[in-house]
Amino acid sequence: MVHTLNFGNFIITGSIKHIHPGLTFGISLIYATILLLVAYFLPRYQGGHKSCIRQSLSKTMDPTDQEYRADTLAYLSEGGLSVNTNSWNHEIVARDVPNPNFYSPIMLFVGAVIGVTVVLGIFLHQIFGESTTFSWLAGRLFLPHYAYSTKVFGKIGWEPLSDIGTFFGAFIAALFISRRFNAFRPVIPPSWRNRFGTNLVTRAIGAFVGSFLVLFGARMADGCASGHILSGGVQMAVSAWIFTIAVLIAMIITAKWVYGNASEKVNPAHESPSHPQRRVLP
């Protein structure tokens, strides 16, 4: 299964070992133009009229935007830490963190950093990926002589450091910037509890099984969202596009099957949920 639809070193213009710079650059411009047009014209919500870019340019929030913003605040407030109104990050927490617009300043900055990191990794002949770490770790601990483990040992790069950085980066951001650190409190996402209830055991089993299947699929595809969609997508790799399409199709089918018509809102009975007041320090 690992070798099914594995196009290896093939990008859109052929083998990367015999790359055609001019043709590849021309196609990359077309590729970038298509992505920008999609971001400009594709509505942000089902039944919506504005895309992320158009909403950002208009600097206005329609009732749907306001509803999603209030609901996002309500969800992020569940179990979050107190926010000091005099702190340096209060504006980020109050405005940018719950902003439903993907093109808010803080999100643009994060996206730019990720983009530079991915391109820099390619120049350094490293792949910006993370799931390989788990195969490497499991192979070292339990299957050191397994054929697949040997393959992973030969190509492992800085993926373990990437995983460690993701963990500590998320921890620092949640604790000191967004103040959304839940401190291991049992906060169940509204989409789950509206479908399956608030039983912690059921949630733990569902989270473990879902995470295992995602990780197994990533290793079977020889790459995850960062290794295929980000690193591969930037290089216009054929395998990355196949992986992306498969992920999108599977994601839609799984969401429909698991959640059905359950609401993702914190207060599903209200069309415009008002977020609970968080404890604010003077």
The three-state (H, E, C) secondary structure of 225-250, written as one string: HHHHHHHHHHCCEHHHHHHHHHHHHH
pLDDT at 205 over 90: yes
Q: In the prediction, which pLDDT does 101 show?
A: 57
Q: Where are the beta strands (DSSP E) in the chain?
A: 10-11, 14-15, 83-84, 280-281
* Phi, psi (rounded to 5 degrees) for 11: -110, -175
Q: Are 129 and 219 in contact (CB under 8 A)?
A: no
Burial label, 39 (beta-carbon count in 10 A; 0-12, 13-18, 19+):
middle
pTM (whole model) above 0.85: no
Length of the chain: 282
The three-state (H, E, C) secondary structure of 5-17, written as one string: CCCCCEECCEEHH
pLDDT digits (tens, 9 = 90+) for 107-162: 778 778 888 887 787 777 777 778 888 888 888 888 888 888 888 888 787 788 88
